[in-house]
């Protein structure tokens, strides 16, 4: 793939590639445009301009509470999963032990196992053990799902790092804990941040597991938004989507600038 390629090839790659990228971004771009429409229906191009759908977000039933719950659960889940994943990733990358492959496959399997399966299994489990509170079940279900991601990114991050750096630190007088804190942890940063970020986003957005685990008055953002979409035709969800995408984009760009998470995840 260089400047000496045939022009027809270069053009084909360009056209098809950009078309693919357009396909990728088109729905979200469109949603952003529609969110400013004045009509009570979803229409494109919008015939009038209005910001009322943004105001209407507040009218979505329980949305404030749902968003807060989702935020709390996502933060807690991501934190717990990441913290547990750090020593696990260390064990996996630094030591070879019998059954390592199987163990890794087990820990990473929630990525491929259907989310419905996890949701149903965990909710049944809690029924079986006499029912935990809704909060706890929700947290557990989410943690099971997302823990695979910090494990993967941390393992990728660690396999790029150099164990002899710890030995150098030891020879210079650092205890194992100090060496970990000052040498290993900084190297882990991209993997840590991207793992945490993924865990957070996947938990925040999750529907299939939450739907089985919300009890009592508990609800999450995806559940409320989905309910609204199934009962209403107006572009309020478009306004919500726009805000969501803008915030997520900002966070990811910042994370990339500061920690370089993009290049790390490609190596996975």
Partner 1 sequence: MARIELTGLEYRVGVTRILNDVSLAVEEGECLALLGPSGCGKTTTLRVIAGFVTPDSGDVCIGGASVLALRPHRRNVGLVFQDYALFPHLTVAENIAYGLVRRRVPREAISRQVGAMLETVRLTGMERRRPQELSGGQRQRVALARALVIKPDVLLLDEPLGALDRILRDQMQVELKRIRRDLGITTIIVTHDQEEALSLADRIAVMFDGRIVESGAPEHLYARPETRAVMAFLGASNIVEGRIEAIVGDVATVRVGDFAVRAGHWGGKNAGDAVQIGIRPEAITIGPADSGSVENTLAGSVDELVYKGPHTEVYVRFPGGRDMIVRVQGRPALAKGSVVTIRFALEDVLVF
Partner 2 sequence: MNATAAPAGQRAAPSWRRIGRYLPILCLLAPLLAFMAIFYGAPMVLLAEESLRNSPTDEVKRPEPTAYHYARTFESARTFRALTRTFRLSAIATVIALVVCFPIALLLIRAGPRLRTGLLLVIFVSLAASLLVRNYGWLVVLADQGPVNRLLIAIGVFAQPERLVYSEGAIVVALVHYMMPFVILPIYGALLRIPPSFGEASQSLGGSSWTTFVRIVWPLALPGVFGGTILAFAIGTSAFVTPLMLGAPQTAMISQVAAEQFLVQQNFPWGSAIVVVLTVATLIIVALYGAVLRKVFRVAV
Asked if 93 interacts with partner 2 (CB under 8 A), we say no
Applying the rule CB under 8 A, the residues between 141 and 200 that interact with partner 2 are 143-144, 147, 151, 197-198
Of 3 and 95, which CB lies nearer to partner 1 in the complex structure? 3
Tell me the closest approach of the beta carbon of residue 4 to partner 1, in angstroms: 5
Tell me the closest approach of the beta carbon of residue 174 to partner 2, in angstroms: 18
By a kind-dependent CB cut-off of 5 to 8 A, residue 120 interacts, out of partner 1, partner 2, none, with partner 2
* Residue of the chain from 57, 75, 174, 201 that contacts partner 2 (CB under 8 A): 201
Asked whether 88 and 151 are in contact (CB, 8 A), the reply is yes
Applying the rule CB under 8 A, the residues between 202 and 221 that interact with partner 2 are 204-205, 207-208, 211-212
Tell me the closest approach of the beta carbon of residue 22 to partner 2, in angstroms: 10
- Which stretch, 59-67, 83-91, 167-175, 179-187, contacts partner 2 (CB under 8 A)? 83-91
Asked if 122 interacts with partner 2 (CB under 8 A), we say yes
DSSP letters along the chain, please?
--TTS-HHHHHHHHHHHHHHHHHHHHHHHHHHHHTTB-SSS--SS-SSB--HHHHHGGGSTTHHHHHHHHHHHHHHHHHHHHHHHHHHHHHHHH---TTHHHHHHHHHGGGTS-HHHHHHHHHHHHHHTT---HHHHHHHHHHHHHTHHHHHHHHHHHHHS-HHHHHHHHHTT--HHHHIIIIIHHHHHHHHHHHHHHHHHHHHH--TTHHHH--TT---HHHHHHHHHHH--SSHHHHHHHHHHHHHHHHHHHHHHHH-HHHHHHT-
Asked if 9 interacts with partner 2 (CB under 8 A), we say yes
Of 4 and 102, which CB lies nearer to partner 1 in the complex structure? 4
Applying the rule CB under 8 A, the residues between 53 and 72 that interact with partner 1 are none
Applying the rule CB under 8 A, the residues between 2 and 41 that interact with partner 1 are 2-4, 6
Q: Nearest 5°: CA angle at 198, between 64 and 159?
A: 160
- Which stretch, 61-69, 167-175, 184-192, 239-247, contacts partner 2 (CB under 8 A)? 239-247
Asked if 113 interacts with partner 2 (CB under 8 A), we say yes
By a kind-dependent CB cut-off of 5 to 8 A, residue 217 interacts, out of partner 1, partner 2, none, with none
Distance CA 112, CA 196 (A): 19
List residues binding partner 1 (CB under 8 A). 2-4, 6
């Amino acid at each position: 793939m260089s400047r000496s390629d045939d022009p027809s090839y270069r053009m084909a790659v360009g056209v098809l590639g950009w078309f693919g990228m357009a396909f990728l971004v088109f729905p979200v771009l469109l949603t952003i445009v529609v969110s400013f429409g004045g009509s009570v229906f979803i229409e494109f191009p919008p015939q009038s301009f209005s910001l009322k759908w943004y105001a209407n977000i507040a009218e979505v039933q329980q949305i404030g509470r749902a968003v807060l719950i989702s935020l709390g659960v996502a933060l807690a889940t991501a934190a717990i999963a990441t913290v547990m994943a750090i020593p696990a990733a260390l064990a996996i990358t630094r030591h070879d032990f019998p059954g390592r492959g199987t163990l890794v496959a087990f820990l990473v399997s929630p990525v491929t196992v259907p989310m419905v399966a996890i949701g149903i299994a965990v909710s049944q489990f809690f029924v079986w053990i006499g029912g935990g509170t809704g909060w706890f079940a929700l947290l557990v279900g989410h943690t099971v799902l997302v823990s695979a991601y910090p494990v993967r990114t941390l393992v990728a991050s660690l396999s790029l790092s150099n164990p002899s750096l710890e030995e150098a630190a030891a020879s210079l007088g650092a205890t194992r804990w100090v060496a970990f804190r000052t040498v290993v942890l900084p190297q882990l940063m991209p993997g840590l941040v991207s793992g945490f970020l993924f865990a957070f986003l996947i938990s925040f957005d999750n529907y299939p597991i939450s739907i089985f685990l919300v009890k009592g008055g508990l609800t999450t953002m995806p559940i409320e938004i989905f309910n609204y979409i199934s009962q209403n035709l107006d572009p309020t969800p478009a306004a919500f989507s726009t805000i969501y995408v803008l915030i997520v984009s900002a966070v990811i760009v910042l994370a990339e600038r500061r920690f370089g998470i993009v290049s790390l995840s490609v190596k996975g």
